Structure 1
Amino acid sequence: MSIPVSRAILPALAGGFVVFAVTLAAADALNFPTVRTDLSADTLKRVRDVTRPTADFSKAEPYEAMQGGAATSIDPITRDIFSQPSANLNQEQGQDFHLGNALFRKLWVSAPSSTQASDGLGPLFNARSCQSCHIRDGRGHPPETAGAAATSMVLRLARPPVTPEEERAVRDFHALNFPDSTYGVQLQDLAVPGLAAEGKVTVRYSEEAVPLAGETVTLRKPHYGVTDLAYGPFEQTTTLSPRIAPPMIGLGLIEAIPDADILAHADPDDTDADGIRGRAAMVRDHRTGQLALGRFGWKAQNASVRDQVADAFLNDIGISTPDQPNAYGDCTVKEARCLAMPTGVQKRLGDTEAPGPILDLVTFYSENLAVPARRKASFPDVVHGKEIFYQSGCAACHTPKFVTRDDLKGSDGKATAQAFQLIWPYSDFLLHDMGDGLSDGQQVGVASGRDWRTPPLWGIGLTQTVSGQQAYLHDGRARTLTEAILWHGGEAEKARNTFANLPQGDRQALINFLESL
């Protein structure tokens, strides 16, 4: 059977408060499909065969190196490898990608400015451009030195509901949580001239030695705080959740995974008794208000790439868009001087500082940052490390592969770059309890303080190359992949302990496998 590369790369298509867990039955009641509807019965069977976890660790699987299907970048590995476009874009789409890239890197300035198409920054903000946080479209990191700007790490602020009305809003998915009454949903540590920034993030670390066979690993536990609060104290129940910027690659492919295939891995009641209780995050689409499956953000709080982009424009840069039209960003009524500052809205350009075409192009760019091809996927030590990855239980949450939807069409009626691709993200995109060690104490919708979305692993081995350093987990505390694994607790504690008890050579083989992704 011949499958055009522009169509797909598929091997062997022959043959605090209450957490509201979403079960498959609940998903069905909410009109979420539990079976794919974009495929014929015959094709569905073949897709299931293709995505079934392998049991053959004698060699690499067919097409395994092409992690993003036909969209995979096979460009040489450089520090800019995360900034390449989907390989299957046509010429017109390639032009839109490069326009989106320019806007992603654009430095916004405070209003009023002579460069009216670029003003509107803030008034309170964390960065002047998307690229400032997502360095070369890669992973962020915590402040490197005491007093340094956080830049690629933010502190999300939230409190739990305190009234029956607020509890109902969370239960009905109309709110994820509630902002601090003074500082809003996020601490902005920068401000336009004439306005005081909200405060500065502080972080200090305590260290703990973990003895393993053949080596000792030191884990650093972060302790966060805020100094120089400019507008008074936080509310007593406000929690601080540090979040580094995640890598940008493969986002459009993640959005193209059918809801039914993600929900098929959910097991909130642990019916198979394996200790893994993946739960789906249900959220409201910011434009339609309809319920959707959350799959983006550290706690799966956004359902689409567009939602993620609009949220970042508003809260990180203070730029309004048609989806988030507040030109004052995250300013609150208690920050009166912030609300008195000029905005960048130019009526001749529209009602927002970043009109629809800008949001569209940045979203398109974000959807089409290509996943790089694997390195050394067939090397014996890497294949051995993959076997250990499976045997240790890592694949229970880091689901290796999916096939994206077959019914994705662009405005021209043709299949998009993300349609019907075999992809290898190594994530189930569900929420999992990761234990007290990683808890931030902050509820986000159905996610408790201990819950985190399984992050995709593709590209993780290129972190040092792209970012110039290594910083893993939601707050960048882990400086190596080994440290990141050793921080796993809760549902992942059994897999963590299995890794910790391996001989040093087997641990290194597993790390070699991760570094090949």
Structure 2
Amino acid sequence: MTRLRSLVPKPLLLLAAIAGAAHAAGQEGLPEIAGSPLDVVPRSAAEAERVAGVVRPTTDFSAAERFEANPGGAATVRARSDNNAFSLSSANMPFDREMNFKLGNGLFRKLWVSSPSSTRASDGLGPLYNARSCQRCHLKDGRGHPPEGSDDGRVSIFLRLSVPAPAQDPMTEIEAFLLSVGEAAPRTRPDPTYGGQLQDFAVAGHAAEGRMEIAYTEREVALSEGETAFLRAPAYSVSELGYGPMAPDVMLSPRVAPQMIGLGLLEAVPAEDILARADPDDSDGDGISGRPQIVWSLEQDAPMLGRFGWKAGAPSVRVQSAGAFAGDIGISNPIFPVAEGDCTARQPACLAGPHGDDDARGQEIDAEGLDLVAFYSRNLAVPARRDVDDAQVLQGKRVFYETGCTACHTPKHVTHRLRDQPEQSFQLIWPYTDLLLHDMGPGLADNRPEGRADGREWRTPPLWGIGLTRQVSGHSYFLHDGRARSLLEAVLWHGGEAQAARDRVMEMPAEDRAALIRFLETL
């Protein structure tokens, strides 16, 4: 596969916009932000003007928009009626690239085993881990769910762990970068014993770190016209701790595995288009103040715009894939080369445990293998919309727009022109996300900072494919921890910047509310 190539970093003015510190523009000596690891053909002024017209939100809800039925552009695939709807390759993939997709799929599904093993190409699991393969979390390339009803469900949700950083702790690269542009971000560190992620499995001879416990409290919510809904609020704890107590001030953040479709298209949305929608000080007074996430790219050795993960903690599909290999499976790779994964100094047996690194391969998965998995992840296709011209769906689309949902769930983007990624190059896509961080209120807060994101902020998740969740994943659990059991419950959990829109949904005629859900089910 063609290796990723770096572009010239963005100018300092863009750095200031991303960092939320406009006063830094023009100052000398500040680091610049890396643009993209993709091989981009810059847009001309005329092309940029044309794109701006194409992505402008519609005000006509009498019929579906042109190309609306193809949310992934030319990469869109026919919507299947079985649970393989999220597992197809980009429809516009050239024939000579299909083998890379199939090889990547094989590595995505591969079960890793502990070392030493006769299967040298598959050993290196753990010693601590959450799953033995990528597929075990992203079953059928769909979303995970809480553990209720299935023991296997435990592998599709895990807990992030962190504690406040001591004042005397040296700053990380991203902390130093944010400070250099005049922004103080919350500083956290992994739990000193259990690291940055709770691993609930271990290879033979080692103790698992613990077991996540969830307790729900349910409450009734009154809606207009006598309708009601029930919301369940989760509380998280850890039992069966294998290495002693956690830090008393540990912060727990649950994360279900997100669906995998359309990742390469999201990666190809120009950073400047995302930044143009940011309004960190709510200067337009609409109550929406999306902020860009900034993360340190180990590929670029520079700060980059975060795009992937519930708090946009990864800047690229390749880095996201590498982080999952290291954190979820305990597999070292060129970006995260530590063989023992998330083991800490307080887990000496884990640090000394068996691993699969060798002189021939280097890491447990090498650069070629990681590139293949990233290629597969980048090219899982978005299924076509259904019933886009249905009268109730069009009514629901109007409600979605007029209620204010599009302030965060931006309907349309046009991707970069890319020299070596024809599948993602210059596509009109409909992901319904702005890829920015938003304050979602105390109800959804995990109270755990991550990069620039505080304990109440989350990246706007893309909505494409959300209506096929039950078909693909066998459940209808939504939000970052799967607490919502339906799309309506997910809407009713919105707070913070989305509070006003949520209240409108509660108060609108029941017919409009049903149409809104019907629209979401067609995405």
TM-score, structure 2 length as denominator? 0.90
Say which of 44, 63, 70 aligns to 1:40.
Answer: 44
Letter matched to residue 274 of structure 2:
I
In structure 2, the partner of 1:172 is 176
In structure 1, the partner of 2:435 is 429
**Matches of 1:306 and 1:76 in 2, distance apart?**
28
**5+ unaligned residues in a row in structure 2: which ranges?**
1-16, 179-184
In structure 1, the partner of 2:6 is none
Say which of 207, 231, 242 aligns to 1:230.
Answer: 242
Letter matched to residue 306 of structure 2:
G
Say which of 391, 394, 419 aligns to 1:383.
Answer: 394
Instruction: Using the TM superposition, name which of 175-184 and 268-277 deviates more.
Output: 175-184
Say which of 59, 62, 67 aligns to 1:58.
Answer: 62
Instruction: Using the TM superposition, name which of 208-217 and 100-109 deviates more.
Output: 208-217
**Matches of 1:281 and 1:164 in 2, distance apart?**
25
In structure 2, the partner of 1:185 is 196
Alignment length (residue pairs): 491
In structure 2, the partner of 1:374 is 385
In structure 2, the partner of 1:127 is 131
Letter matched to residue 319 of structure 2:
D
**Matches of 2:33 and 2:273 in 1, distance apart?**
11
Letter matched to residue 59 of structure 1:
A
**Matches of 1:88 and 1:170 in 2, distance apart?**
37
**Matches of 1:362 and 1:26 in 2, distance apart?**
41
Output one character per residue of 1:275-312: Cα deviation in whole Å (capped at 9) or x when no partner: 00100001111222211100100001110001100000
Q: Is the 8 A contact 1:161 1:167 kept in 2?
A: no
- In the TM superposition, residue 40 of structure 1 has moved relative to its aligned partner by 1.4
Say which of 423, 428, 431 aligns to 1:417.
Answer: 423
Output one character per residue of 1:482-508: Cα deviation in whole Å (capped at 9) or x when no partner: 000000000000000001111111101
- In the TM superposition, residue 333 of structure 1 has moved relative to its aligned partner by 1.0
- In the TM superposition, residue 23 of structure 1 has moved relative to its aligned partner by 2.6
Say which of 486, 489, 501 aligns to 1:495.
Answer: 501
Output one character per residue of 1:232-286: Cα deviation in whole Å (capped at 9) or x when no partner: 1111221000000000000000000000000000000000000001000011112
Q: Is the 8 A contact 2:290 2:437 kept in 1?
A: yes
In structure 1, the partner of 2:272 is 260
Output one character per residue of 1:421-440: Cα deviation in whole Å (capped at 9) or x when no partner: 00000000000000000010
Q: Quick check: 1:94 aligned with 2:105?
A: no
In structure 2, the partner of 1:4 is none
In structure 1, the partner of 2:109 is 105
Output one character per residue of 1:331-379: Cα deviation in whole Å (capped at 9) or x when no partner: 111111111211111322x211101111010000000000000001111
Sequence identity percentage? 54
Q: Is the 8 A contact 1:170 1:177 kept in 2?
A: no
User: Which 4+ stretches in 1 moved above 2 angstroms?
Assistant: 20-34, 145-149, 164-177
**Matches of 2:448 and 2:55 in 1, distance apart?**
34
**Matches of 2:203 and 2:248 in 1, distance apart?**
28
In structure 2, the partner of 1:289 is 301
**Matches of 1:149 and 1:58 in 2, distance apart?**
42
- In the TM superposition, residue 78 of structure 1 has moved relative to its aligned partner by 1.6
C-alpha RMSD over aligned residues: 2.0
Question: Cα gap change, 1:509/1:203 in structure 2, threshold over 3 Å: closer, same or farther?
Answer: same
Letter matched to residue 70 of structure 2:
M
**Matches of 1:389 and 1:33 in 2, distance apart?**
35
TM-score, structure 1 length as denominator? 0.92
Q: Is the 8 A contact 1:156 1:242 kept in 2?
A: yes
**Matches of 1:146 and 1:85 in 2, distance apart?**
29
**Matches of 1:495 and 1:136 in 2, distance apart?**
33
**Matches of 1:246 and 1:191 in 2, distance apart?**
23
**5+ unaligned residues in a row in structure 1: which ranges?**
1-19
Question: Cα gap change, 1:91/1:21 in structure 2, threshold over 3 Å: closer, same or farther?
Answer: closer
Q: Is the 8 A contact 1:173 1:283 kept in 2?
A: no
In structure 2, the partner of 1:327 is 339
Q: Quick check: 1:68 aligned with 2:79?
A: no
**Matches of 1:168 and 1:83 in 2, distance apart?**
37
- In the TM superposition, residue 397 of structure 1 has moved relative to its aligned partner by 0.2
In structure 2, the partner of 1:355 is 366
- In the TM superposition, residue 211 of structure 1 has moved relative to its aligned partner by 1.2
Q: Quick check: 1:506 aligned with 2:512?
A: yes
In structure 2, the partner of 1:444 is 450
Letter matched to residue 378 of structure 1:
D
Q: Is the 8 A contact 1:124 1:192 kept in 2?
A: yes
- In the TM superposition, residue 114 of structure 1 has moved relative to its aligned partner by 1.1
